[in-house]
């Protein structure tokens, strides 16, 4: 049965520095949750605590509504920041070994490893040493290692960094299969455009604390309400209007953010000035990220 992964009040200090400061969020079954934040925000430390490779100083990790166990974690797929595979060993050998470590028979591990290599268009590279591959292809093999044993949850630390767009798409296809099975996926990334395209949910971390979290649609609804207004010949008059902030004017078109709702008065005045367009702008997750970490 699909389960949710939850962290509650997770806290970790390094000396005086509170790297993770009471972090709480849930990764629901079958959802792709993006984990974003500036360098040093605490993403890797949080993921390490989820996986039990870094001790926590407070808080808890729950799987399926109960404290997570070693066996639960062993069934997860984890792609650590430092990556797990050996550069000087053959790819298929390593994948088979890892599969067996996680309880697969050698035959099953070999078959699944080959299937994953096929899907990443690395079918004939299994006998190569990992280091013989380009960095992007090494990354694909690292992801294959996390997927091999049919994981119950995926914790992926920057899985898309360094990948070309085709590699991103093939990885997304594989992850989508897992999502359909109900597997919760948490991945960190600095690529906000990708996060925007892929995520059902988002957790924004800044200085160890959660600044915003929720489903992509909730966050978009909570984001600033902005409109694009076009009035000919010039939209500059909007700068004099009370109750709104003009974010940008480019000739006839302005982007505005009303302090509360857009008033009927304003629309009437715009109509009198040759209103051509009035479009609500849906914030991207990247806009929301910038807003909450400002």
Ligand X SMILES: Nc1ncnc2c1ncn2[C@@H]1O[C@H](COP(=O)(O)OP(=O)(O)OP(=O)(O)O)[C@@H](O)[C@H]1O
- Minimum distance of ligand X from residue 50's CB (angstroms): 12
Angle (nearest 5°) at CA 134 between 131 and 135: 85
Name the residue nearer to ligand X (CB basis): 14 or 121: 14
Q: Which stretch binds ligand X (CB under 6 A): 12-20, 85-93, 166-174, 179-187?
A: 12-20
283 near ligand X (CB under 6 A): no
Q: Which stretch binds ligand X (CB under 6 A): 41-49, 70-78, 104-112, 176-184?
A: 41-49
Angle (nearest 5°) at CA 148 between 170 and 50: 95
Name the residue nearer to ligand X (CB basis): 146 or 204: 204
41 near ligand X (CB under 6 A): yes
- Minimum distance of ligand X from residue 72's CB (angstroms): 22
| Cβ atoms of residues 82 and 143 within 8 Å | no
Query: Rounded CA gap, 7 and 207, in Å?
Result: 17
Q: How far is CA 61 from CA 139, 190, 210, in A?
A: 27, 24, 16
Both tokens assigned to 90: 């053959």
39 near ligand X (CB under 6 A): yes
Name the residue nearer to ligand X (CB basis): 44 or 201: 44
Name the residue nearer to ligand X (CB basis): 45 or 94: 45
HSE of 183, CA atoms in CB hemisphere, 13 A: 26
Annotate 190-220 with DSSP letters as a single string. S-HHHHHHH-SEEEEEETTEEEEEEEHHHHH
The residue within the footprint of ligand X, chosen from 5, 10, 19, 203 (CB under 6 A), is: 19
82 near ligand X (CB under 6 A): no
33 near ligand X (CB under 6 A): no
Query: Rounded CA gap, 21 and 181, in Å?
Result: 32
The residue within the footprint of ligand X, chosen from 29, 37, 77, 159 (CB under 6 A), is: 37
- Minimum distance of ligand X from residue 292's CB (angstroms): 15
Query: Rounded CA gap, 30 and 186, in Å?
Result: 10
Torsion of CA 142, 49, 205, 198, to 10 degrees: 40
Cis peptide upstream of residue 233 (ω within 30 degrees of 0): yes
178 near ligand X (CB under 6 A): no
- Minimum distance of ligand X from residue 285's CB (angstroms): 17
- Minimum distance of ligand X from residue 45's CB (angstroms): 3
213 near ligand X (CB under 6 A): no
Annotate 33-57 with DSSP letters as a single string. EEEE-STTSSHHHHHHHHHTSS--S
Name the residue nearer to ligand X (CB basis): 13 or 269: 13
- Minimum distance of ligand X from residue 47's CB (angstroms): 8
- Minimum distance of ligand X from residue 224's CB (angstroms): 25
Number of amino acids touching ligand X (CB under 6 A): 11
Q: Which stretch binds ligand X (CB under 6 A): 11-19, 63-71, 140-148, 286-294?
A: 11-19
170 sits in which H/E element: helix 165-180
176 near ligand X (CB under 6 A): no
Residues engaged in binding ligand X (CB under 6 A): 14, 17, 19, 37, 39-45
């Amino acid at each position: 049965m699909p389960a949710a992964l939850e962290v509650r009040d997770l806290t970790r200090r390094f000396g005086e520095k509170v790297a993770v400061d009471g972090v709480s969020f849930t990764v629901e079954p079958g959802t792709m949750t993006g984990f974003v934040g500036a360098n040093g925000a605490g993403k890797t430390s949080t993921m390490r605590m989820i996986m039990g490779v870094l001790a926590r100083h407070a808080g808890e990790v729950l799987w399926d509504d109960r404290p997570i166990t070693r066996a639960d974690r062993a069934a997860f797929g984890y792609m650590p920041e430092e990556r797990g595979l050996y550069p000087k060993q053959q790819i298929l050998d390593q994948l088979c070994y890892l599969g067996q470590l996680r309880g697969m028979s050698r035959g099953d591990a070999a078959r699944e490893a080959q299937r994953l290599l096929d899907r990443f268009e690395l079918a004939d590279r299994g006998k190569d040493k990992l280091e013989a591959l380009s960095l992007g292809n090494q990354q694909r093999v690292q992801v294959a290692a996390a997927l091999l044993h049919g994981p119950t949850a995926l914790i992926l630390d920057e899985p898309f960094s360094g990948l070309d767009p085709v590699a991103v798409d093939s990885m997304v296809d594989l992850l989508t299969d897992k999502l359909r099975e109900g597997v919760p996926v948490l991945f960190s990334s600095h690529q906000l455009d990708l996060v925007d395209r892929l995520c059902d949910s988002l957790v924004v971390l800044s200085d160890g604390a959660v600044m915003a979290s929720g489903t992509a649609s909730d966050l978009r609804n909570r984001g600033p309400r902005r409109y694009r207004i076009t009035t000919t010949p010039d939209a500059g008059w909007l700068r004099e209007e009370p109750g709104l902030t003009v974010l940008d004017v480019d000739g006839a078109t302005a982007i505005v953010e009303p302090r509360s709702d857009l008033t009927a008065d304003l629309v009437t005045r715009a109509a009198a000035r040759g209103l051509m367009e009035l479009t609500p702008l849906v914030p991207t997750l990247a806009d929301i990220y910038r807003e909450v970490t400002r």
